[in-house]
Structure 1
Amino acid sequence: MTLHADLHVRRTGFELAMELSVAPGEVVALLGPNGAGKTTALRALAGLLPLDDGRITLDDDLWDEPPGVFRPADRRPIGVVFQDYLLFDHMSALENVAFGLRARGVGKHTARAEALRWLSTVGLAEHAASRPRSLSGGQAQRVALVRALATEPELLLLDEPLAALDAGTTLHVRAELGQHLSRYEGRTLLVTHDPLDAMVLADRLVIVENGRVVQEGAPTEIARRPRTDYVAHLVGLNLYRGTAEGTTVHLAAGGTVTTATPATGPVHVSFPPSAVSLYPDRPSGSPRNTWPVVVTGIEQHAHTVRVRLSPAPDSSAPTDLLTDVTTAAVAELHLTPGRHLWATLKATETQTYPS
């Protein structure tokens, strides 16, 4: 059963008008600048905000269709994880997870047993009696997630689920969240402003600006062909999936990257275009990532020039490699499509984390 939503909500000076679908087992990320309509869309799907027009259905199950049909949040098969988690401070972690089950009529003993099972799946069984204020940010996020999943919702809504975490915690929790979502058989809508969260966690991106969908597709598709300045800025990142063997990552799309941090198994490797340098000849004392490349595209990007590169023959360079250079460098390097150059990337500029 696929969720279909034709969302029309009008407010003073703003109108949300977008169509959205989420299939079973799919993670869709809704991205856009502040005020684009992301939160309005989430609240409409959650049953916290009625539509002015349109309809929301889960297969043949009608949730909202003005003027006569509106099913409130407590009658929709949804789970929600908010940015600040909204855990009940006066309840233990166990009681927080059991709350949704109890609200749906599950007996106290059964609800507590099921809550403990869910906490065990995220490694928090020993914190079952802990109150939210004694949990770390990552632990609180996991409690909020299993509280939402415990009721076995048809639709999981994640509202900036990693925004409250510090940078050091985010990498680990993002990887954990990805693993949980890969096992979830329902539909997931992730609302985020972070392009890395979207690229790592989502199967499909939906970009919203001024209440309208401006682009949607697979992350690689969005990254290859941005259609607005916002999207171009959003995907200003080299991101690859691969398999790590120590400090060498064999990329799924071809090529290898040497990283500073050893790892094993499926990983993501990311680095900004600014970390990639170009030379007319192979540089002496090169970093470990030194590749012969071919220029395949050049475009003005804000105050720099975005250069797209492909591996030269017999090169181990990543595919669709992006770098940003100055306008002066365009002239100095004689940058034109088809030009052969050398690209370098310092291993210390890369980030590697579990996929």
Structure 2
Amino acid sequence: MTLHAALHVTRETFALDVDLTIEPGEVVALLGPNGAGKTTALRALAGLLVSDSTIRLGESTWDDLPAERRPIGVVFQDYLLFAHMTALDNVAFGLRARGTRKADANAVAARWLDQVGLAEFAGAKPRTLSGGQAQRVALARALATDPELLLLDEPLAALDASTRLRVRSELGRHLRDYPGHTLLVTHDPLDAMVLADRLVILENGRVVQHGTPREVVRQPRTDYVAHLVGLNFYRGTADGTEIHLDEGGALTVAEPVSGPVHVVFPPSAVSLYPEKPVGSPRNTWPATVAGIEQHAHTTRVELDGTPTVLADITTATVAELRLQPGDPLWVSLKATEIHTYPR
């Protein structure tokens, strides 16, 4: 059965108005900048705040159910394991709170600890567990009650980079086996792209874009989404192969289009030169280095010009050009690297 949620929360300076659907076995990722309403949406679903929301699963509604009676499992960012309890008791807690006999609850908890690869840590206290182990105990606790909806609130944010890759893979495996509905709240685009079947992007309490990871990556609709997926993003008006950009400047594209369009291309498609280049590129313009930032194996250069642009270049190129903020350069971009789609 499809989960339908119409989430409406009003505060003094903020209003959330979001409609969500989640299919059985589907993982939906909720992304957005700070203050967009991600945590508010999660808390409304969990029944942790007063709202005018409507939540329906099949013929049943959860609107009037208090948090403790909703068929929901939650994994919080900091896991919130009970420090005085063992891992086994933490996992069994939800079942015990719902009236399950201790022996039966412990048996279910033991099975879940085994399923997440922590059977030998059943008697361990949270302070003795690594971050990855604590995350798995929290996941087991959330799933032990057989919830209809699993809420994951930044479930990997507390992990260091070396642990995060492994735990993300493990979490993905467990989510694929979970038959219920999953909502993942995250600020990390990689977590969302790897774990989610569908993305919902929030800005200022509203949905600005939704779709599969592939759809969102290929056609961002806002500056935030474009930044999230790492693309240069512009709005313009096309007339044949010429696009006049709203912020100034023009670009030539390979295929003729017309009317209002979005324009995107990756920073890796941008080339930089100390002098105006000659040859095949159909787009060149002068710019000034505004910032330089190391990104893994490449260097991202922010350039002020008409238009402004981001370029990803190798460290060797940085050394060759001896780049410094304020340096004048020429930007070059092939028409075939530019992707357009209707606004």
Indicate yes or no: 2:137 matched with 1:121. Answer: no
For the aligned residues, what is the CA RMSD?
A: 2.3
Following the alignment from structure 1 to structure 2, what is the Cα–Cα distance between the partners of residues 128 and 170?
A: 23
2:309 maps to which residue? Answer: 303
Show the counterpart of 1:130. 124
Using the alignment, how far apart are the partners of 1:170 and 1:93 within structure 2? 21
Deviation at 1:16, TM superposition (A): 0.2
Structure 1 unpaired stretches of 5+: 65-69, 238-272, 282-299, 307-325, 340-355
**TM-score (norm. length: structure 2):** 0.71
Aligned length: 258
Contact kept, 8 Å, 1:101 with 1:111, in 2: the verdict is yes
Q: Confirm or deny: 8 A CA contact 1:94 1:116 kept in the other structure.
A: yes
Change (3 A) 1:107 1:327: farther
Maintained 8 Å contact 1:63/1:76? yes
User: How much has 1:278 moved relative to structure 2?
Assistant: 6.5
List, as ranges, runs of 4+ consecutive aligned residues in structure 1 with deviation greater than 4 Å: 273-281
> Considering only CA atoms, is the larger Rg found in Structure 1 or Structure 2?
2
Q: Which amino acid aligns with 1:128?
A: A
Shift of 1:106: 1.1
**8 Å CA contact 1:83, 1:160 repeated in 2:** yes
1:303 partner letter: V
Unaligned 5+ segments in structure 2 are 232-265, 273-278, 281-305, 313-327, 339-343
For residue 122 of structure 1, report the CA deviation from its aligned partner.
1.0
Contact 2:202–2:208 under 8 Å retained in 1 = yes
Alpha-carbon spacing, 1:327–1:194, altered in 2? closer, same or farther (3 Å): farther
1:148 aligned residue: 142
2:20 is the alignment partner of 1:26:
no
Q: Distance in 2 between matches of 1:206 and 1:111?
A: 36
Shift in Å, 1:329: 3.5
Q: 1:194 is matched with which residue? A: 188
Deviations 1:183-236 (A, max 9, x none): 000000000000000000000000000000000000000000000010001112
Q: What percent of counterpart residues are identical?
A: 67
Whole-Å Cα distance in 2 between the matches of residues 327 and 32 of structure 1? 34
Q: Provide the residue aligned with 2:212 in structure 1.
A: 218
Of 313, 330, 343 in structure 2, the residue corresponding to residue 328 of structure 1 is 330
Give 1:1-355 correspondences, 5 Å limit. 1-52=1-52, 54-64=53-63, 70-236=64-230, 303-304=309-310, 328-330=330-332, 335-337=334-336
Change (3 A) 1:112 1:328: same
Shift of 1:303: 3.3
In structure 1, distance between residues paired with 2:137 and 2:307 = 41
Give the Cα–Cα distance (whole angstroms) in 1 for the partners of residues 44 and 3 of structure 2: 13
Residues 335, 182 of structure 1: alpha-carbon distance in 2 compared, 3 angstrom cutoff: same
Structure-2 separation of matches of 1:130 and 1:27: 31
TM (norm. structure 1) is: 0.69
Which SS does the other structure have where 1:337 is aligned? helix
Separation in structure 1 between the aligned mates of residue 311 and residue 3 of structure 2, nearest angstrom: 41
SS in structure 2 opposite 1:329?
strand
Letter in 2 for 1:221: E
State the shift of 1:328 in Å. Answer: 2.2
* Separation of aligned partners in 1, 2:182 and 2:81: 20
SS at match of 2:61: strand
Q: Is the 8 A contact 2:36 2:205 kept in 1?
A: yes
Provide the rounded CA distance (Å) in 2 between the counterparts of 1:184 and 1:61: 21
Secondary structure at the residue paired with 1:56? strand
Q: Secondary structure at the match of 1:328?
A: strand
C-alpha distance in 2 between matches for 1:14 and 1:173 = 34
Q: Is the 8 A contact 2:269 2:311 kept in 1?
A: no
Shift of 1:301: 8.4
The letter for the 2-side match of 1:36 is A
Shift of 1:38: 0.4
Q: Which residue of 1 aligns with 2:263?
A: none
